[in-house]
């Protein structure tokens, strides 16, 4: 080997580690506070080790589980997380208490709640629930709020029914005649049918109050100080959601590996498809995923006030921003 060749080889060897370090940019930690354990429904937040949607945005994504949206909000208010995966009702209640919050992305613009009754019960519309026993997951659950909203559309209130706590995804009381109807979610109904629930009547709450089921929510201070970080997260989530829509079978396979409930392949795929359907609306088809229906949220906030779930009028537009959505007001992607 000539002197020139040796010098070239030495230069290449010395440069290789430097090039590698230049290409390996340090990832920035980003924490999402959820309302659930790592379940199939939130597959876009669970597969970064496999797909790298957030790493591509320079983020090291961490998911913090919770037992309801109130947990998710507590985790951002305490500074334990950057963004909360939160239902609108809990968002409204926190605003009513004076919490400085901002919704930045509509995860599920479709209302996924329903009230289920057996065929032959005669319960096909909200007014048919009067005088009936109706199950809810818990008194602190979204199913109870959905039931209250549904009753309100028929001029009824909880005092017009008997509310029975049945537990999560539990249709046994309905099948055994302990309740006349039960409030659930679309995925809860999928699980129930998989476990032998017979033909049922389904009253979809979204047909009476078409409001989002879940939002990404941040503290106002985080919204103001971490614009670029939040934009990168939303780009990553948007890309993950699009992947799940375009590749549902692959998403179901990865959910079987990453989600705690991904043991039944057929059910997992059904849940993936249900969440894909709930992620789009006429508005998102026009303006892109994550677009927020401010008018729909305002209508829901007004209903919550009439129900006594919030005490003050809420001007929803003050607590919503679409500035960080991919493609909006200079947001890259």
Q: What is the pLDDT along the chain (333 residues), one digit of tens a residue?
A: 444 444 454 444 444 443 344 345 799 999 999 998 999 999 999 999 999 999 999 999 999 999 888 899 999 999 999 999 999 999 999 999 999 999 999 999 999 999 999 999 999 999 999 999 999 988 877 888 899 999 999 999 999 999 999 887 678 899 999 999 999 999 989 988 888 898 999 999 999 989 999 999 999 999 999 999 999 999 999 999 999 999 999 999 999 999 999 899 999 999 999 999 999 999 999 999 999 999 999 999 999 999 888 999 999 999 999 999 998 765 555
Residue 198 lies in a domain: yes
pLDDT at position 14 is 44
Examine the domain organization and report whether 83 and 195 are in the same domain: no
Examine the domain organization and report whether 253 and 276 are in the same domain: yes
Residue 1 lies in a domain: no
Q: In what order do the strands lie in the sheet with 181-185?
A: 162-165, 133-136, 181-185, 113-118, 200-204
Residue 333 lies in a domain: no
d(CA 312, CA 97): 9
Examine the domain organization and report whether 159 and 300 are in the same domain: no
Residue 247 lies in a domain: yes
Q: Which of 207, 235, 253 is the last residue of a domain?
A: 207
Sign of CA dihedral 272, 109, 62, 78: negative
- Name, in order, each residue with C-beta under 8 angstroms of 282's C-beta and a sequence gap of 6 or more: none
Examine the domain organization and report whether 129 and 63 are in the same domain: no
pLDDT at position 331 is 54
Task: Name the nearest CA neighbour of 137 among 161, 105, 171.
Answer: 171
The partner residues of 116 in beta bridges, in order of sequence, read: 182, 202
Examine the domain organization and report whether 189 and 274 are in the same domain: no
Examine the domain organization and report whether 121 and 48 are in the same domain: no
Provide the 10 A C-beta neighbour count for residue 132: 17
Examine the domain organization and report whether 220 and 285 are in the same domain: yes
Residue 104 lies in a domain: yes
Examine the domain organization and report whether 138 and 182 are in the same domain: yes
pLDDT at position 102 is 98
Number of separate domains in the chain: 2
Expressed as residue numbers, the domain containing 186 is: 113-207
Residue 330 lies in a domain: no
Residue 7 lies in a domain: no
Task: Name the nearest CA neighbour of 207 among 186, 190, 191, 180.
Answer: 186
pLDDT at position 329 is 62
Residues constituting the chain: 333
Examine the domain organization and report whether 219 and 313 are in the same domain: yes
Q: Which of 173, 207, 241 is the last residue of a domain?
A: 207
Q: Which of 207, 241, 267 is the last residue of a domain?
A: 207
Examine the domain organization and report whether 241 and 288 are in the same domain: yes
Examine the domain organization and report whether 131 and 175 are in the same domain: yes
Examine the domain organization and report whether 202 and 127 are in the same domain: yes
Domain CATH number, residue 203: 3.40.190.10
**What is each CA distance from 149 to 174, 210, 302, 305, in whole angstroms?**
21, 11, 11, 11
Residue 325 lies in a domain: no
């Amino acid at each position: 080997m000539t002197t020139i060749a040796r010098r070239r080889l030495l230069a290449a060897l010395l440069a290789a580690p430097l090039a590698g370090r230049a290409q390996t940019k340090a990832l920035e930690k980003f924490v999402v506070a959820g309302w659930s354990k790592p379940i199939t429904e939130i597959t876009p937040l669970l597969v970064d080790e496999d797909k790298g949607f957030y790493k591509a945005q320079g983020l090291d994504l961490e998911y913090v589980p919770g037992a309801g949206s109130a947990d998710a909000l507590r985790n951002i208010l305490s500074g334990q997380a950057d963004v909360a995966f939160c239902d609108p009702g809990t968002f409204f209640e926190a605003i009513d208490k004076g919490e400085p919050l901002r919704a930045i992305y509509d995860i599920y613009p479709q209302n996924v709640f329903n009230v289920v009754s057996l065929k032959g019960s005669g319960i096909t519309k909200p007014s048919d629930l009067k005088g009936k026993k109706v199950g809810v997951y818990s008194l602190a659950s979204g199913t109870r709020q959905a039931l209250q909203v549904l009753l309100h559309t028929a001029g009824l209130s909880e005092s017009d029914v008997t509310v029975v706590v049945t537990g999560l995804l539990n249709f046994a009381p309905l099948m055994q005649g302990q309740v006349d109807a039960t409030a659930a979610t679309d995925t809860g109904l999928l699980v129930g049918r998989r476990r032998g629930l017979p033909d049922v009547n389904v009253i979809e709450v979204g047909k009476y109050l078409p409001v989002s089921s879940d939002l990404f929510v941040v503290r106002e201070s985080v919204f103001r100080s971490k614009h670029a970080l939040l934009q990168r997260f939303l780009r990553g989530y948007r890309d993950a959601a699009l992947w799940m829509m375009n590749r549902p079978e692959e998403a179901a396979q990865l959910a079987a590996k990453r989600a705690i409930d991904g043991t039944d392949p057929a059910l997992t795929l059904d849940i993936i498809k249900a969440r894909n359907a709930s992620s789009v609306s006429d508005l998102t088809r026009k303006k892109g995923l994550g677009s927020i229906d401010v008018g729909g949220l305002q209508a829901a906030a007004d209903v919550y006030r009439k129900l006594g779930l919030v005490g003050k009028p809420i001007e929803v537009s003050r607590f919503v921003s679409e500035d960080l959505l991919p493609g909006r007001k200079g947001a890259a992607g």
